[in-house]
Amino acid sequence: MIDCLYFAWVRERIGAPRERVETSAATVMELVEELRGRDPRYGAAFADLSALRVAVDQELSGFDAPLAGVREVAFFPPMTGG
Amino acid sequence: MSVRVQSARFDAGAELNAFSAGLENAGAVVSFTGVVRDREAGGMVAMEIEHYPGMTERAIAGIVEEARRRWDLADALVIHRHGRLVPAEPIMMVATAARHRLAAFEAAEFLMDYLKSRAPFWKKEIGPRDAAWVAAKDGDEAALGRWAAREQ
């Protein structure tokens, strides 16, 4: 089980801030593909991966990051702090 | 070193005074305060700032740690708000203290550049009838490049 977190317009498109996902995906990219297949909302949120950032266990990562032992994956647009 | 992530409004002047009062052997104090401004189109009612609790604190602590590695800082302060803010309210502030001004200025700029695109905050501008997420600017990412180029 992995906790998936969504922020900003990713959250709005998916319609939830977080959810627990039962998955055997080996990488973030595989998880994205799996979610895309589940519901069109994910297709809308993950349409352009170049516009998305991902954090694995609260560290910025790439879409090729492995998920073995990972508890939390977050998807969000480029950050706009400051 | 102090990092605070909070929804409550803060008084940048009082914070700067408190920061400065606790210093020893620092000849330079630099501070920056970010303030909610109106949209270019005008009519902004509020700014909503979303963040990623947990990662936010970790990311900022990591950025401050990196600044301390690069510059000999006597102290540093980062305050960043989240939640609903109205125009003219302070969003965030950084303060740095060092023996000499160059280190204090550079470290403050470094903190700002990294907070902008490496701390998990997202701003949404709320108008009277519409709302839109603020898009990151190409320049934000490019600003990090100048620090990478100087990495020893």
CB contact under 8 A, A5 and B115: no
Q: Per residue in B49-70, is it b (16+ CB within 10 Å) or e — as a string?
A: bbbbeebbbbbbeebbebbeeb
In DSSP notation, chain B reads: -EEEEESS---HHHHHHHHHHT-SS--EEEEEEEE----TTS---EEEEEE-TTHHHHHHHHHHHHHHHHS-EEEEEEEEE-EEE-TTSEEEEEEEEESSHHHHHHHHHHHHHHHHHHS-EEEEEE-SS-EEEPPPPHHHHHHHHHHHTT--
Q: Do B121 and A76 touch (CB under 8 A)?
A: no
pLDDT given at position B151: 67
Note the pLDDT of residue B7: 98
- Residues in chain A closer than 8 A to B141 (CB atoms): 78
Q: Which residue of B has its CA nearest to A74?
A: B52
Interface confidence, given as ipTM, is 0.95
B117 touches chain A (CB under 8 A): yes
Full domain range(s) for residue B78: 2-148
Q: Is A73 exposed, middle or buried (0-12, 13-18, 19+ CB in 10 A)?
A: buried
Q: Which residues of B touch A9 (CB under 8 A)?
A: 133
On the question of pLDDT at A7 being above 90, the answer is yes
Res A38 pLDDT > 90 = yes
**Per residue of chain B (152 residues), what is the pLDDT tens digit?**
999 999 999 999 999 999 999 898 899 999 999 999 998 888 999 999 999 999 999 999 999 999 999 999 999 999 999 999 999 999 999 999 999 999 999 999 999 999 999 999 999 999 999 999 999 998 998 899 889 877 64
> What's the CATH number where B119 sits?
3.90.1170.40
Amino acid at A34: E
- What is the CATH T-level fold of the domain A2-76, as seen in this structure? Ubiquitin-like (UB roll) (3.10.20)
In the β-sheet with A72-76, what is the strand arrangement from edge to edge? Answer: A18-21, A2-6, A72-76, A53-56, A59-61
* Distance (Å) from the alpha carbon of B74 to chain A's nearest alpha carbon: 22
First-to-last CA distance in chain B?
24
| Chain B: closest CA distance from residue A67 (Å) | 18
pLDDT above 90 as % of chain A: 100
Measure CB to CB from residue B120 to each of A11, A76, A82 and give the nearest one.
A76
Judging contacts by C-beta atoms under 8 Å, the chain B residues touching residue A60 are 118
Question: Which residue among A5, A58, A77 sits closest to B122, beta carbon to beta carbon?
Answer: A77
Instruction: Indicate yes or no: CB of B80 within 8 angstroms of CB of A81.
Output: yes
What tokens does A53 get? 């950032």
At A57, list the tokens. 């266990």
Average pLDDT over residues A49-70: 97
- Domain borders along chain A are 2-76
pLDDT tens track for A66-81: 999 999 999 999 999 9
The closest CB to that of A76, out of B80, B122, B140, belongs to: B122
Confidence (pLDDT) at B40: 84
Return the pLDDT at A52. 97
Q: How many domains does chain B have?
A: 1
